[in-house]
A and B are shown apart, each in its own frame.
Chain A
C-alpha cells in the first residue's frame, strides 16, 4: 500500500474526522478507523492517531483491500498520524 501523498501534502490536510486511538493495541486502532470511516461522507479524509507502530501498515492493508485510498502517514511525537480517504 504505497502512500499517495508526500509528508508535506499530508501536513496540509484538514481531515473530516480525527480518530484518537492512541494507547489502543492491535486491532483496536484499525477497528476504530473502520468505525469512523462509516461516519464521514465519500470523498472525505479521516486521520487516525495511533501509538501502535503497526497501525500504519495495518490500515494501509485494510484500505487497499476495502477500496479506500491510503494517503500515507506522518510520525508525530509518540504516535503516527495515518490518513485515509473514503473512496466508496
Chain B
C-alpha cells in the first residue's frame, strides 16, 4: 500500500528535513477495540447491536458489549418469565417480558404484530435473528459485560442471564475502556 500525503505548501521549508530511512515494513495501522453500549431493549436496536457485534467478532476486532438498563432484559434467559426479588421487580418483569426472543419494537409494535411481521420478513430474506447472531458473536469471542447496577436494580442474578456472559462491571470500566481507545457505540 502506498500512502501519499498531499499538503498545500506555500513556501518551501528553509531547511529540508533529513531523508528518513525507509521503514523495513509498513507499520500496520493500530486497530481500535470496539465498545458497544447496549442500552435499549427494543427489538430494532437489539438487532443492530447483534449484527455489529457479530461482524466485529468476525473481523477479528476485540469487541465488548456493555449491557445496561433495558439492554440487560435482552440477556435474561428466554424461558425465564418472572425475575426479581421484590414485588416491584417482579411486576416489571411481568409487564415487560425479558429474553432476546421476546423483544418489542419501540414503534409500531401493535400488540406484537410489528415484531411478528419483522420476524417473518427476516426469515423470508434469511436475515439471522438476534438470538442466532448473539450465539455467533459469543462464539467469535465478543464479550458481553452486564452492568452490576442494573442487575441489582432489576434483582437479576447471574443465573437469570444467558450462558457465557462476562463478569459484571460498572460504568468506570466502560469509561476506562474508552480512555484506552476503544471506539464507543451507544445503541
Binding site for B on A (CB under 8 A): 23-28, 30-31, 34, 61-62, 65-66
Residue from B60, B126, B136 within 8 A of A24 (CB atoms): B126
Closest chain B CB from A62 CB (angstroms): 5
A25 touches B54 (CB 8 A): no
Q: A25-B126, A28-B128 are in contact. Are A65 and B31 (CB under 8 A)?
A: yes
Is A25 touching B58 in the complex (CB atoms < 8 A)?
no
Contact between chains at A27 and B51 (CB < 8 Å): yes
Q: How far apart are the CA atoms of A34 and B140 in the complex, in Å?
A: 10
Q: What are 26 residue pairs bridging A and B, where the CB atoms are less than 8 Å apart in the complex?
A: A23-B126, A24-B126, A24-B128, A25-B125, A25-B126, A25-B128, A27-B51, A27-B54, A27-B128, A27-B133, A28-B128, A30-B58, A31-B54, A31-B55, A31-B58, A31-B128, A31-B136, A34-B58, A34-B140, A61-B59, A62-B58, A62-B59, A65-B31, A65-B60, A65-B61, A66-B60
Interface majority SS (helix, strand, loop, mixed), chain A: helix
Chain A nearest Cβ from B135, distance in angstroms: 11
CB distance from B173 to the nearest CB of A (A): 26
Tell me whether A26 and B51 are in contact in the complex, defined as CB-CB below 8 angstroms, given that A31-B136, A34-B140 are known contacts. yes
CA distance A8 to B54 in the complex (A): 34
**Using Cβ atoms and an 8 Å threshold, which residues of chain A touch B60?**
65-66
Interface positions, chain B 102-131, Cβ under 8 Å from A, are: 125-128
Residue in contact with A25 in the complex, picked from B55, B59, B127, B136, CB distance below 8 Å: B127
Pick the contact of A30: B55, B125, B127 (CB < 8 A). Answer: B55
Smallest beta-carbon distance A56→chain B, Å = 15
